[in-house]
Amino acid sequence: MERNATPNQQFWRDAALPFVEAQRVQEGRDICFAKHSHDTFSIGAITGGASTCWNRGHSHDVTAGSVVVINPEDVHACNPRNGVPWSYQMIYLECDWLRDLQCDIGADASGDFAMFADIVPEDAGLYHDLTAMGDALFDGDIDALGKETALVAFFTDLHDRLDRKGGLSDVGAGDNAKMARAADFIRSHCVDALSLADICGAAGVSPSHLVRAFKKTYGMTPYAYLINCRIQRARHALRRGEKIVDVALETGFADQAHFQRMFKRLTATTPRLYARAQAA
């Protein structure tokens, strides 16, 4: 099992459970995020204070006891209100693992990951179970079997509590398909020096149409989406133990300083803090 922490932040991960990662923030007054997304399914509990969560184009005030649900690739940002302390915990789960669980329990017959509709569900029981699962992940006396059992139980129950959501956005089926092609192209070539013409060619649209429709669909510009994809890839590389300077260059950044600025802007932590987990 690996942990790394400052007085305000803790990260947990375990090589025996590579599909899940957890984070705790004890004092988030100064922890701010730019709009970003994850390639994981994320669910968090606000354990103290208050903040504002922006997700899918809407802002939500969240306070202690709130649960926040974030689908993979949903653009979001949760930040403290001015001068107001807050604390939270987050669980990041690989989509392949959750998709397989969904198929096992018959939650979705398509074979694809079933997105959730609820953004901030009002469910005290869900909050209690989520924080209990977070406690189990950070508990050094519980082994990998116990942690995995808790994860399966929680995420199986989650499907009985939350509704599903539909497609990407309301921009129209044609634009959805084109913007999905653009996003796929960016993800597949995120370490390359892409031009706007490259992305337009993949999507089959003009530059002005791409920028307008992409932001309406994904909540950020194609460039911001590209940087976000690079940071997602960097997180995986850091978890594998790759050196920060190598990760910076391998993920398409000009230098380590630029990488560090962008990493902190999107994750509210530094690459070194994220990477330097020590064996417990």
Asked if residue 109 and residue 177 are part of one domain, the reply reads no
Asked if residue 136 and residue 27 are part of one domain, the reply reads yes
Asked if residue 152 and residue 58 are part of one domain, the reply reads yes
> Per residue in 221-246, pLDDT tens?
899 999 999 999 999 999 999 999 99
Residue 167 lies in a domain: no
Residue 266 lies in a domain: yes
Residue 167 has pLDDT above 70, yes or no: no
3-state secondary structure of 207: helix
* Per-residue pLDDT, 56: 77
> Per residue in 181-219, pLDDT tens?
999 999 999 999 888 889 999 999 888 888 888 888 888
Dist CA 122 CA 246 (whole Å): 43
Among candidate residues 161, 189, 218, the one where a domain is terminated:
161
Dist CA 224 CA 237 (whole Å): 20
Asked if residue 236 and residue 100 are part of one domain, the reply reads no
Contact 63, 120 (CB under 8 A): no
Contact 138, 12 (CB under 8 A): yes
Q: Running DSSP on this structure, what letter comes out for residue 255?
A: S
Asked if residue 188 and residue 130 are part of one domain, the reply reads no
Per the model's pLDDT, the better-predicted residue between 19 and 278 turns out to be: 19
Contacts of 214 (CB under 8 A, 6+ apart): 179, 182, 183, 220, 221, 222, 225
* Per-residue pLDDT, 250: 95
Residue 168 lies in a domain: no
21-50 burial, b for 16+ CB within 10 Å, e for fewer? bbbbbbbbbebeebbbbbbbbbbbbbbebe
Q: Running DSSP on this structure, what letter comes out for residue 251?
A: T
Q: How many domains does the chain have?
A: 2
Asked if residue 178 and residue 157 are part of one domain, the reply reads no
Average pLDDT over residues 139-159: 88
Residue 107 lies in a domain: yes
Dist CA 251 CA 264 (whole Å): 15
77-105 burial, b for 16+ CB within 10 Å, e for fewer? bbbbeeeeebbbbbbbbbbebbbebbbee
Average pLDDT over residues 158-165: 79
DSSP H helical segments within the chain, as ranges?
Answer: 95-104, 124-138, 144-161, 173-188, 196-203, 207-218, 222-239, 244-250, 256-267, 271-275
Give the torsion sign (CA, 158, 162, 167, 168): negative
Residue 155 lies in a domain: yes
Among candidate residues 161, 191, 207, the one where a domain is terminated:
161
Q: Which domain holds residue 177?
A: 173-279
Residue 166 lies in a domain: no
What backbone phi and psi angles, to 5 degrees, belong to 119? -100, -50
- Give Cα separations from 55 to 69, 78, 118, 127, 133 (angstroms): 9, 8, 11, 19, 24
Structure tokens at 176: 């959805």
Ranges 146-155, 178-187, 234-243, 255-264: which has the least confidence:
146-155
Ranges 156-160, 165-169, 254-258: which has the least confidence:
165-169
Average pLDDT over residues 18-46: 88
Residue 279 has pLDDT above 50, yes or no: no
Average pLDDT over residues 61-83: 88
Asked if residue 23 and residue 117 are part of one domain, the reply reads yes
- Supply the mean pLDDT for the chain: 86
Among candidate residues 95, 128, 161, the one where a domain is terminated:
161
Residue 56 lies in a domain: yes
Per the model's pLDDT, the better-predicted residue between 145 and 185 turns out to be: 185
Ranges 38-52, 92-106, 169-183, 258-272: which has the least confidence:
169-183
* Residue 161: pLDDT band with limits 50, 70, 90: confident
